[in-house]
Amino acid sequence: MNNAPKIYKMRVVFTVPGAWDHKRIFAALRNMVLRSGLPFEPAKVNKNWPRLAYGPALGYGQFSSGEYADLYFSSPVKEEAAMSALSKVAAGITLLHVKRVPYALPSVSQLAEVMQYAVEGNLDKYIPIKPLEAFFGGEHIYLTVQAANSMTVVQDLKPFVLSVQRAGTDRLELLLQRHLDKTTKPEYLMAAWLNMMVPAEAEFTIEGLKFTREELYWRDGSGNLHVI
């Protein structure tokens, strides 16, 4: 007989203002659950903290149209009650949706195979290596990463790219996928196209460009994409 206590899982979709890093988002989620008064399942690393799973985490300086987190509870909570209790104490977080999901369902960070990004800004101030279609349609997309000792490593980002296209004068849309259980950043794709070297030890973004993660997708057995 299985005497393990039953755990209940809820998935929340939310936004944060500006470009928050993942540590700040995680802390805000934790504090939100603690202040809500809901019967949370304790985290394994600290019994005073609620168990939760957030991800895939935003990159440095990135914005988002909607983030996901899984919250774990020790007893059943109705969706409406959870939405109400969490929204009242969600400092800095705007909850968009709360849904009960099966405990066995993989977390969003495990489900997300494809990510959609928008890159917005004045691209005319930069000089790309080649026209957009020619560069991203080529056989390879090489990025140079430089360490503090000036040693460099060249990476091929082509396996991560499903599509890159213009969606206006100052907007690009990128569809990026996992490859060998790894991901790449849209900033790196832009750096490769704009002939920029990326520092290995520092957070990296590109001045004058705004990077927004707009959607996450999971891929079924036939290769079709579905919005999470």
The CA distances from residue 122 to 38, 110, 127, 149, 170, in Å, are: 46, 34, 11, 32, 6
Convert the pLDDT of each residue in 152-177 to its tens digit.
Answer: 999 999 999 999 999 988 999 999 99
pLDDT in tens, 192-228: 999 999 999 889 999 999 999 999 999 999 999 999 9
Domain edges within the chain:
8-110, 112-227
- Identify residue 70 by its one-letter amino acid code: D
Residue 185 pLDDT > 90: yes
Residue 86: helix, strand or coil by DSSP?
helix
For residues 172 and 189, the answer to whether their CB atoms sit within 8 Å is no
- Confidence (pLDDT) at 148: 87
The HSE-up count of residue 153 (CA atoms within 13 Å, CB side) is: 10
Structure tokens at 186: 């849209």
Beta-carbon contacts of 119 under 8 Å, excluding residues fewer than 6 positions away, are: 171, 172, 173, 174, 186, 190, 209, 210, 211
Mean pLDDT of 70-88: 97
pLDDT level of residue 145 (50, 70, 90 thresholds): very high
Q: Domain spanning 8-110 has what CATH number?
A: 3.30.70.580
Residue 137: how many other CB atoms lie within 10 Å = 13
Per-residue model confidence (pLDDT) at position 171: 96
Query: Could you tell me the pLDDT band of residue 124, with boundaries at 50, 70 and 90?
Result: confident
